[in-house]
Structure 1
Amino acid sequence: MASLKSRIHRYRYWRFLLLPALFMLLSLWPLQRLAERYYTNELLEQNRQTLDLYVANLLGTLRRYEVLPNILGDLPVLRALLDHPQDASAVNQANQLLAQLRERSGSDVIYLMSAEGQTLAASNWEHPDHFIGRNFSFRPYFQQAMTGQRAQFFGLGTTSSKRGYYFGAAIRDAERVIGVLVVKIDLDHTETLWGHTPEQLAVTDSFGVVILTSRPDWRFSATRPLSETEYEQIRLHRPYPTTEPSQLTWSSDTWLIQSRELNQIGWTVRILAPVRQVERSVHTVVAVGGATVLVLLLWLSLLLQRRRHLMERLALDAQARRDLELRVQERTCDLEALNTRLKEEVLEREHAQQELVQAQDELLQAGKLSALGTMSASISHELNQPLAAIRSYADNARVLLDHQRVEDARTNLGSISELTARMASIIAHLKAFARRDPHIPERVALQPALEDSLSLLAARCQSLNLELIREIPEVTLWVQAGETRLRQVLTNVLTNALDALEELPASAPRTLWISTERQRNRVVVCIRDNGPGFTPQSLQRALEPFFTTKAHAEGLGLGLAICDSLIRSLGGILHLANHPEGGACIRISLRCAAPDTDFSDKEPS
């Protein structure tokens, strides 16, 4: 009888244990689905940010060289070679000039072609596989430049067998195209930036062929079927080492694919993440969940076993142990409720901690992307002015040397050296500006900074036949500023004024007024012109980044935005208005500084 009662008790024990076990095991399936969704979204968001960063870097690299062929095409040495292609001296000078320009610009190759596509001079003229004498008229960038189109092309070099992106520009004599200047840049370093990660990079061109990738076995493979017309274009232009690219298929069961279309150049950038990254994390979560279920089952088993033992003990003397059983049951219920509350609090804290870490990571990544975009666009804008001055000084130095004016030429070369040092200073400041680092104010003399900015623009003022009216006291005005930042602001404002004066008819008089005045503890610099002035829309949005009324190739719309940020960081004010007598009037208000003031232990306000 006792044995039968024991078997009945064991049957009841396993029956009550089997139902919770089955319920807990079934809960692992929704846990797996939730984990898959969570880790997939996490991986996609991380890869989206990485993709944005890579696209910004790629576009910044291309835009750096986009206008270079148009600028270099006006150099007298290159035009002289196009006029006398058989002149050995002209060829030698052009080769050396292109080699120097390639070294300074960081491009791969710069070369000059005649209107028939024959290469007359190249920066790699000293290399065994130089381009001189080769005909590249079959290349799309030559054909596009000859017809006045936007000349851009990606392809494998037929001579060097190196990948590159080509920018071309037509060189004209009046309305006739006499040659084409081509700048080739090397994009191999954009692959090395990716590093060794499970995620893979793939950039495809308009044919759907992989041209840049972190997987060498994917390179020059087609990601979609090509038509016969596309095969004909590939055979004609020869952008790849093969005329019949092999087919490449990316399975959605293997890769999580995100893409970004670069419509301006016809490329598509993709980032492919292995699905196994998500599966590995999901398996870990399921394993932890299964272990948790097992622990809970063991705990429940122990709890039920304890209850059974207590029931057996209480059965011996039910009347005597009734009060004790009631107290045990109440304590058990209290412990279960407390345990449940503790679990809920732990889960809530873990969830809040995960959300905080995720928000911090997203904020940090967004800050890095913003700083990179600011640095890339600013450097492109700010270095144009010193580069133009360097070219002017260099051209003047060559003329002075031709006239045996060595001392004057040496002075120009010294100015070039100072400008290069200033460019380095501008770059260092722009990096700090992008990071928004605090700057310690300095005691700066206003008049020398203004004279330095005017000297940079002297040649342009002379070409405009400009009348410059100055109302500046002889007594030195000292302001709280950074010496480089002050010159940068003054140069940008003066350049905008000259741009406005260029819009006037050639016969109209051009006048520029520069005046200063003291207002209590501030010095106000007023720069006024008699140009067309600001429109209501431009006056309202002139200080916004990337807003410009110029053509796309002439400006990025960052000059006044950078000036406003620099002035505000120094505690100053930049005010834009139209003068009642016509033209624009820009006022720069800066804090005064005594000649012996020391700001070394102060932070700017």
Structure 2
Amino acid sequence: MLLAGVAAYHFSARAGLAALRADTRHDLDLLATAVDGSVTRYEHLPSAVALSSEVLRLLRAGKDELAPLQPAANHYLEQLNGFFGGLAIFVLDVEGTVVASSDWIYSDNLLGQNQKLRSYFQAAVRGAPDRYYAIDETRNEAGYFFAHPIRDEGQDWRIVGVAVVKISLSELERRWMPRDEPMLLADANGVVIVASVPEWKYTVLRPLSGEVAAEISAARRFADQAIRPFPVTLDATGTGGAALVSFPEAPMLVGGRRLKARDFVVETRQLSGTGWQLVTFADLRARRADALTDAALGAAATGCVLLLGLFLHQRRRTLKSRAEAQALLQKANAELEQKVSLRTADLTAANERLRAEVAERERAEQTLRAAQDELVQAAKLAVLGQLATGITHELTQPLGALRTLGGNAIEFMRRGDQATAQGNLEIMATLVDRMGEIIDPLKTYARKSPARPASVDVAHALRNALFLLDQKLRRAGVAVDNRCEPGKALAWCDQNRLEQVLVNLIGNAVDAMSEGPVRTLRLEAEAAPSGRLLVRVIDSGPGLSEDALAHVFEPFFTTKPVGVGLGLGLAISQDIVRDFGGDLSAANHPDGGAVFTLDLPMAGEQQA
């Protein structure tokens, strides 16, 4: 049992450490991305400063002309810094003197300071953008600097100054305060610039070379802060490796909260955008406690195995009761067969009930289909009622002409002028044919008939729908752009019901454009690569809101005023289109307005 416990402890410890490293790496990746993104989002801001006309005029002026030009440049930098929320934005001339700054309003501003010793200025004045972490001695304030050269187009793109943006890293520190595990951020030289343990700040993770130490000291990069070695030795190379470290005493976080652990797993990440190193310390106590628990369980399991052996040995003495057990088994088998027969009877009854429910649902479906047909017919008759005024106007003129021509024909026949009377009768026949052409689409549209799919010319259906809505289109002042040519778009559907859907969609489009300055209705039909036929009704109205797009095909949903429409037209139209294997969808057109698309099966596809 002791050997089993030791083995379980070592195995669990290794597995727990691997899981802890995986979790730590995942958290470190997320945090590294957030830190890198929150810092590098300022890197293009200095180039925006270089485009300012106020800044260019200031850098072009001589030293005696700086005073009148400085206020405009200072105000521009102040507004830009207030918008992005940095610490300061300032401009240096080629000699390293600050000639404009966003903090000009403060007494301890940067104006007039010379920063030619700073490495970011030296790199930028040579034409290379640079970034740099340092402590500003004027305010004893740490910040991260982005520098970018300013080139003058009027002087053959010669470098006339340097734009610098200074941001604070205090936001990163505030994000780390609530964490229960230590973290730190070191620059490219290994100097800790942000840490959740205050005493770690401005320590170095690895020894500095003489050249780097001299540069930091000469530029007073960290002011009077002494650079101390880190309390323990870390593999802070940024290669993503993990290591175990043990501190002499438990670290104390910000706020005086001392941790209980001294042993940690260290994970390091290199930030690609800044060259910094992000280091996290994960507590090992929970994993070791789990390993001890697993060791105890391993020892207990070994004891259980030993007890199982004793049990098997004891079981040999109970073989004499096999006969009794066999009898009990036969009895249980008989009871099981009885239960099976009862369950079979229950299943048979349930099957009969299910068949009755299926028959009832089929009857309900037939009733629903009949109700849907009645609702379709009622919608058609409602549209016909709206068209009654226009049709009456179309028939009034032919009827008046018939009455006049009939009276004239009687008079000419009385006078014996048969030729003129015959001419009047021929004109009357022409007018009767014209009235039949007007009435025939109405008869076809109003006819109540079951849906019989056939090859339908979409151009013919569109022409009939436009005829039925001709008066409404004229009154609304809608210009129709019908791009569907006869004989080129054949769909497999019921023509009468397709016309009803088109009448509903065109009528809705006219209503949607009633308040618009431009009222254009465009009709298109084209074959899709998938072998389907797409018919589009496009209006120039205000389009559909997100809420309307989500509920436009729901029954009783309408965007029209109260009392105008029941909100059933689009729901019925979608059901009609789906009955013959199609679909109806709605969207907003990129050029404005709404577009309703009929996805119909093509005649050739269905016949094949």
Q: If the TM-score is normalised by the length of the shorter chain, which range does it land in?
A: 0.3 to 0.5
Higher-Rg structure is 2
